[in-house]
C-alpha cells in the first residue's frame, strides 16, 4: 500500500508495515525465481519464460520504473528485475532456435519477434497507465489515495490488475509450453516454489489484506466487474458526487436556502409533465384520522384501488422524454411517479392484497421488505411499551458493534403501525416505501416547500398527485416571510394500543440511519434519536391540552403551529402523557415573535423548559454542544444559549456573559478528521461551516473541539447539548438536549436589545424541535464530586451514550471542515 495513502481512522496504521513485509517477501520470491530461471536456462540450453510473457514482464517493469512509481525503493527493485530480464532475453535469443526447429523462420528471427512484442506490450501498458492515472479523470478514484499530489488517484489498483494479468499470462503460457515441448526442461520445482511464494505474498496476500482491512479503498472496481450496482460502493468521482449527495448524504440546516437549492438542482426534473392534472377525485386527501384498520377502511381502500387501476388502464401515456440524454433522479413518468414509486405495480399488489383480505378475515402477513439493517426481533402480540419513560439511542451503523443503538426498522415497528406522521428535512422516498409500505400504513409527510425563496408546494403536490401513492398525504408547514427551512424532525407512529413518538437528529435517508448499499462497507454517518411509547388513554377518549404535562402541551402546540390539522392533534390526545412529566419538548417555530406566547419558542422556549423542570437554580454551569452545522456565532449568541440553559431570559443587563467562552465547548470536526473518515469528504456535505463565518473576528475559535466519534471513522450529524452544573444549594445536576437544532440563530432565533433598552422580536428562520432529558437524581447521587466541581461527562451513562471522545482535542492551529457559501 502506498505510503502516500491517507488512512481512515478505523484502519490501523500497521497496515503499512504488514504490506511492506508482504511486498518484501513477494519481491524476494520473484527475484530468486528470475535468478533460478536464468541459471536453469543456461544449464538446459533453452529458454524458460515464454516469449510473450517475458515481453510483458519486461515492458511492465520498464513502464512502472520509468513512469508510474514514485518511490525510489520500488524503482531500485524494478531496475534489478530488468537486469535479470536481460539475462533471460540473452538465453531466449541464444537458445531459441533450438526450440523452434519445427518453425525455422521463427527460430532465426526470435530476437526481432521478441523486440516487436516488447514494444507492443510497452505501448499498451503505458497507454493503460496514462489513462488510469489521469489526474483530471482518474479510473476508480478513492478517498485517501494520493498520487503525485493529486487526491483520489489509485496507483495501487493499477499495479494489482496489471501484475495480475502478467502472472496469469505467464502461468497459462508456461503450462502450454510444457505441453508443446513434451518436457519440463528449463523449469524446476524451486522455480515453481519461489514464484508461487512471490505471487502469494506480493500479489494475493498483500492486496487481500488491504481489501480485508480497508475494503472501501480497494474493492470498488472488483464489484463493478462482477456486475454489482455502482451504488454498492462509495461513488467518489466528482462526476458521481451529485447522485451521492442527494441519495446518500443530506444537506445541512444553515444557509438552508442555498444548500437546498444545490441539492434540488442536482435532482432537477428533466422529464415533461402530463398535459392535464388528474381528476380531483383521484388525488383527494385520504382520511388519516382513524388509527384503526376496520372493515370500513378496507372497503374504501378496495374501492379506491379498483378505481385507480381502471384509470391506469384508460390513461394514455403522456410522459415526455428528457431534453437531454441524462435521466435525473427526479424524473417522473406514469409508471414511476412521486419520488420514483411504481404506482401500477403497487396498485396491482394492493388489489390482490385487499381482495384476499375480503375473502379471509385473518390478519395478513407483512410484506417482505428489502432492508439493509439487521432484522428487528419479532414483535410479540399485543401492545408492549418498550420505552414508557423515554430513551435516547444512537442510530445503527453498519459493520460497527451493536451498543445502545437502534435500527430504523426497530424504531418503526412497521407491522404494528397504522398511521405514521413523519417530519423530515429530506426524504429518500424509495427507501421509505420499503420501511413503511404505503399500501399498509397511512402516512402524512411534512415537507420543505421553498426553493431559492420560491414556494414550490404546488409543484410537489402535482408530482405527488400524478404518482397516486395510496394512503399518503403531503403537508407543508407555513413558510411565510423570513422562514427559510423546515428543519424539524419527528415521527408520530400510531398503533392500536400505543403511540411511539420519535425525535431524531437524522433525516429520513439510509445514510443517516447507518445503512449502506452493500454487505462489506461500514456506515459513514451517525445520529441520535429520542423515543417514547405512550399507552392509549384508559377512557379511550380525547384528552384536553390543558391537562397535559409540559412535554405534551408543547408537542401539541408545535403541531398546531405546523398546521397539521385537528385529526392529528386529536389522535395524539388519545394517548396518556402521564409518564412525560420529567421531560420537556423544545421547539423553534418559524417566524417573527414580537411577544412571548403561551408556550415560548426558540431559546426562550429552552429557558422555559429549564424552568418548568426546575433546573434554573444554577450556581455553576458547563455546556458541551455537538453540532453538524455552525452559523455566525459570536459572544452575544453564546451568551443567549448559556442564559437559556440556566433558565434565564435575555435582557439588556445580561446581553453578554463574562468569560462565556470558558464555559462552552463546541464539538465540530476538523478537516483532518473528515479527510480520514470512513466516508471521506464526499459524505461530509451535511456538515457545514462557512469560511466567512469562521474567519470573522467575532467567531469563538477557542471554543471549538474536534468531534471524533467513539465509532472509529464515523462522521456525525448529531445535535446534542450536554449541560452539567451545580445548584445554588450545592447539589449537582445534568441534562441533555437532543433534536434538530444546530448552533445558529436560524435554528434558535435571533434577538437583539433595542436602543430603548427593550428586547426586540425573536426572529426564527427554521422550524426545529427536540427534547430535554434530565439525568435522574439517583444517578447524580452516585457521583463523588469535589467541592464546586460539576459532574463529569460519565454522568450521562444510562441516559445517553456520549458519541464523541471527551474531552475533545483543541484545534491548536488545525482548521475546521469548511463547507458552504463564502
**Domains within the chain, CATH numbers bracketed:** 15-237 (no CATH), 585-796 (3.30.870.10)
Question: Which is it for strands 490-494 and 688-689: parallel, antiparallel or unpaired?
Answer: unpaired
Provide the pLDDT confidence category of residue 268 given band limits of 50, 70 and 90.
very low
Return the percentage of the chain with pLDDT > 70, whole number: 77
- 127 pLDDT more than 90: yes
Annotated binding site for substrate: 489, 719
pLDDT at position 679, please?
85
pLDDT at position 453, please?
65
**Maximum average pLDDT range among 237-251, 311-325, 720-734:** 720-734
Could you tell me if 486 and 589 are in contact, meaning their C-beta atoms sit under 8 angstroms apart? no
Could you tell me if 61 and 82 are in contact, meaning their C-beta atoms sit under 8 angstroms apart? yes
Q: What is the mean pLDDT of residues 479-499?
A: 93
- All three cell numbers of 184, joined, read 519440463
- The pairs formed by 541-550 with CB atoms below 8 angstroms and a separation of 24 or more are 541/574, 542/570, 542/573, 542/574, 543/573, 543/574, 543/576, 543/577, 544/573, 545/573, 548/573, 548/577, 549/577, 549/578, 549/580, 549/581, 549/583, 550/581, 550/583, 550/584, 550/585, 550/609, 550/612, 550/613
pLDDT at position 185, please?
85
Residues with Cβ < 8 Å from 799, sequence gap 6 or more? 392, 734, 736, 773, 774, 775, 776, 779
pLDDT at position 242, please?
34
Range with the poorest average pLDDT among 146-150, 284-288, 472-476: 284-288
Give catalytic residue positions. 487, 717
Residues forming a β-bridge with 709: 804
Return the percentage of the chain with pLDDT > 90, whole number: 45
H or E, element range at 191: helix 189-199
Measured in residues, the chain has a length of 822
pLDDT at position 373, please?
52
**What is the tens place of the pLDDT at every residue in 396-407?**
999 899 989 999
Provide the pLDDT confidence category of residue 542 given band limits of 50, 70 and 90.
very high
CA distance 460 to 277: 13
Provide φ and ψ at 359, rounded to 5°. Answer: -80, -30
pLDDT at position 267, please?
43
Could you tell me if 702 and 663 are in contact, meaning their C-beta atoms sit under 8 angstroms apart? no
- 619 pLDDT more than 90: yes
- 223 pLDDT more than 60: no
Q: What is the mean pLDDT of residues 783-806?
A: 92
pLDDT at position 369, please?
36
Provide the pLDDT confidence category of residue 101 given band limits of 50, 70 and 90.
confident
Whole-prediction pTM value? 0.65
User: What is the chain's mean pLDDT, rounded?
Assistant: 80
**What is the tens place of the pLDDT at every residue in 367-389?**
333 344 555 444 444 457 999 99
Residues forming a β-bridge with 503: 530
pLDDT at position 725, please?
95
**Maximum average pLDDT range among 258-262, 476-480, 782-786:** 476-480
Residues with Cβ < 8 Å from 711, sequence gap 6 or more? 397, 400, 523, 526, 803
Provide the pLDDT confidence category of residue 820 given band limits of 50, 70 and 90.
low
Query: Which residue did the predictor score with more confidence, 105 or 410?
Result: 410
- 306 pLDDT more than 80: no
**What is the tens place of the pLDDT at every residue in 290-304?**
554 443 443 444 444
Q: What is the mean pLDDT of residues 255-275?
A: 41
Range with the poorest average pLDDT among 357-366, 425-434, 471-480, 595-604: 357-366
- 115 pLDDT more than 90: yes
Range with the poorest average pLDDT among 320-334, 468-482, 653-667, 796-810: 320-334
Could you tell me if 160 and 9 are in contact, meaning their C-beta atoms sit under 8 angstroms apart? no
Annotated binding site: 489, 719
pLDDT at position 754, please?
78
- 499 pLDDT more than 70: yes
pLDDT at position 333, please?
33
pLDDT at position 615, please?
96
Provide the pLDDT confidence category of residue 539 given band limits of 50, 70 and 90.
very high
pLDDT at position 9, please?
55
Range with the poorest average pLDDT among 395-399, 642-646, 647-651: 647-651
**What is the tens place of the pLDDT at every residue in 12-66?**
778 888 888 998 898 898 899 989 988 988 888 888 888 899 999 999 999 999 8
| Nearest CA among 273, 102, 263 for reference residue 181 | 102
**What is the tens place of the pLDDT at every residue in 153-206?**
888 888 889 989 988 998 899 888 888 888 888 888 898 899 899 889 888 888
Residue with the three cell numbers 458519541: 803
Q: What is the mean pLDDT of residues 110-135?
A: 92
pLDDT at position 554, please?
97
Amino acid at each position: 500500500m502506498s505510503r502516500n495513502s491517507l488512512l481512515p481512522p478505523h484502519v490501523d496504521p500497521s497496515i503499512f508495515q504488514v504490506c511492506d513485509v508482504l511486498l518484501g517477501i513477494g519481491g524476494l520470491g520473484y527475484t530468486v525465481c528470475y535468478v533460478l530461471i536464468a541459471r536453469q536456462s543456461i544449464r538446459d540450453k533453452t529458454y524458460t519464460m515464454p516469449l510473450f510473457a517475458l515481453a510483458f514482464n519486461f515492458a511492465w517493469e520498464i513502464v512502472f520504473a520509468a513512469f508510474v512509481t514514485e518511490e525510489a525503493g520500488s524503482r531500485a527493485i524494478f531496475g534489478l528485475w530488468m537486469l535479470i530480464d536481460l539475462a533471460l532475453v540473452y538465453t531466449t535469443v541464444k537458445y531459441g532456435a533450438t526450440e523452434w526447429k519445427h518453425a525455422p523462420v521463427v527460430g532465426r528471427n526470435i530476437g526481432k519477434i521478441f523486440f516487436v512484442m516488447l514494444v507492443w506490450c510497452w505501448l499498451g501498458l503505458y497507454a493503460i497507465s496514462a489513462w488510469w492515472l489521469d489526474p483530471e479523470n482518474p479510473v476508480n478514484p478513492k478517498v485517501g489515495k494520493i498520487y503525485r499530489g493529486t487526491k483520489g488517484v489509485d496507483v495501487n489498483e493499477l499495479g494489482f490488475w496489471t501484475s495480475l494479468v502478467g502472472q496469469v499470462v505467464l502461468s497459462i503460457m508456461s503450462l502450454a509450453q510444457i505441453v508443446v515441448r513434451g518436457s519440463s526442461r528449463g523449469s524446476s520445482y524451486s522455480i515453481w516454489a519461489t514464484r508461487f511464494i512471490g505471487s502469494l505474498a506480493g500479489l494475493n496476500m498483500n492486496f487481500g489484506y488491504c481489501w480485508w482491512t480497508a475494503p472501501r479503498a480497494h474493492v470498488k472496481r472488483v464489484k463493478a466487474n462482477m456486475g454489482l450496482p455502482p451504488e454498492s460502493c462509495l461513488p467518489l468521482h466528482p462526476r458521481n458526487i451529485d447522485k451521492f449527495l442527494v441519495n446518500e448524504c443530506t444537506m445541512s440546516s444553515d444557509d438552508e436556502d442555498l444548500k437546498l437549492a444545490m441539492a434540488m438542482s442536482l435532482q432537477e426534473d428533466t422529464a415533461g409533465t402530463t398535459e392535464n392534472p388528474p381528476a380531483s377525485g383521484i388525488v383527494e386527501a385520504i382520511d388519516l384520522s382513524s388509527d384503526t384498520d376496520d372493515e370500513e377502511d378496507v372497503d374504501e381502500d378496495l374501492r379506491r384501488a379498483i378505481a385507480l387501476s381502471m384509470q391506469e388502464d384508460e390513461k394514455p401515456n403522456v410522459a415526455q422524454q428528457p431534453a437531454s440524454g441524462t435521466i435525473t433522479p427526479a424524473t417522473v413518468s406514469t409508471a414511476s411517479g412521486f419520488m420514483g414509486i411504481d404506482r401500477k405495480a403497487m396498485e396491482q399488489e394492493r388489489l390482490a392484497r385487499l381482495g384476499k383480505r375480503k375473502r379471509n378475515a385473518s390478519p395478513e402477513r407483512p410484506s417482505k421488505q428489502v432492508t439493509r439493517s439487521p432484522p428487528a426481533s419479532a414483535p410479540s402480540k399485543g401492545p408492549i411499551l418498550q420505552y414508557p419513560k423515554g430513551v435516547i439511542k444512537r442510530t445503527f451503523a453498519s459493520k460497527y458493534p451493536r451498543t445502545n443503538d437502534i435500527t430504523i426498522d426497530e424504531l418503526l415497528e412497521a407491522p404494528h403501525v397504522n398511521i405514521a406522521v413523519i417530519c423530515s428535512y429530506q426524504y429518500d422516498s424509495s427507501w421509505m416505501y420499503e420501511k413503511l409500505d404505503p399500501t399498509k400504513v397511512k402516512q402524512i409527510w411534512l415537507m420543505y416547500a421553498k426553493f431559492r425563496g420560491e414556494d414550490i408546494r404546488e409543484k410537489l403536490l402535482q408530482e405527488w398527485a400524478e404518482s397516486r401513492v395510496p394512503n399518503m398525504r403531503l403537508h407543508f408547514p407555513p413558510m411565510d416571510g423570513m422562514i427559510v427551512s423546515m428543519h424539524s424532525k419527528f415521527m408520530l407512529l400510531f398503533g392500536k394500543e400505543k403511540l411511539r413518538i420519535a425525535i431524531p437528529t437524522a433525516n429520513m435517508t439510509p445514510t443517516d440511519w447507518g445503512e449502506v448499499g452493500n454487505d462489506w462497507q461500514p456506515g459513514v454517518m451517525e445520529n441520535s434519536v429520542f423515543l417514547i411509547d405512550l399507552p392509549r388513554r384508559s377512557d379511550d377518549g380525547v384528552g384536553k391540552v390543558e391537562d397535559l404535562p409540559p412535554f405534551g402541551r408543547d408537542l401539541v402546540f408545535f403541531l398546531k403551529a405546523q398546521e397539521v390539522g385537528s385529526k392529528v392533534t386529536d389522535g395524539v390526545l388519545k394517548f396518556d402523557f402521564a409518564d412525560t412529566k420529567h421531560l420537556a419538548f423544545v421547539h423553534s417555530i418559524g417566524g417573527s415573535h414580537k411577544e412571548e406566547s403561551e408556550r415560548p419558542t426558540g431559546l426562550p422556549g429552552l429557558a422555559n423548559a429549564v424552568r418548568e423542570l426546575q433546573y434554573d437554580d444554577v450556581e455553576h454551569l458547563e455546556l458541551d454542544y455537538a453540532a453538524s452545522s455552525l452559523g455566525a456565532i459570536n459572544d452575544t449568541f453564546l451568551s443567549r444559549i448559556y442564559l437559556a440553559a440556566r433558565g434565564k431570559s435575555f435582557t439588556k443587563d445580561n446581553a453578554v456573559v463574562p468569560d462565556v467562552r470558558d464555559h462552552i465547548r463546541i464539538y465540530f470536526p476538523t478537516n483532518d478528521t473528515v479527510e480520514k473518515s470512513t466516508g471521506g469528504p464526499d459524505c461530509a456535505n451535511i456538515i457545514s461551516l462557512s469560511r466567512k463565518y469562521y474567519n470573522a473576528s467575532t467567531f469563538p475559535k477557542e471554543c471549538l473541539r474536534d468531534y471524533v466519534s467513539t465509532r472509529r471513522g464515523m462522521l456525525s450529524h448529531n445535535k446534542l447539548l450536554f449541560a452539567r452544573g451545580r445548584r445554588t444549594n450545592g447539589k449537582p445536576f445534568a441534562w441533555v438536549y437532543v433534536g434538530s437544532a444546530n448552533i445558529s440563530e436560524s435554528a434558535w432565533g435571533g434577538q437583539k436589545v433595542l436602543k430603548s433598552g427593550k428586547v426586540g422580536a425573536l426572529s426564527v428562520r427554521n422550524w426545529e424541535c427536540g427534547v430535554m432529558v434530565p439525568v435522574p437524581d439517583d444517578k447524580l447521587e452516585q457521583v463523588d464530586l469535589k467541592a464546586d466541581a460539576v459532574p463529569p461527562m460519565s454522568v450521562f451513562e444510562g441516559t445517553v451514550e456520549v458519541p464523541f471522545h471527551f474531552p475533545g482535542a483543541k484545534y491548536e492551529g488545525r482548521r475546521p471542515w469548511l463547507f458552504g457559501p463564502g
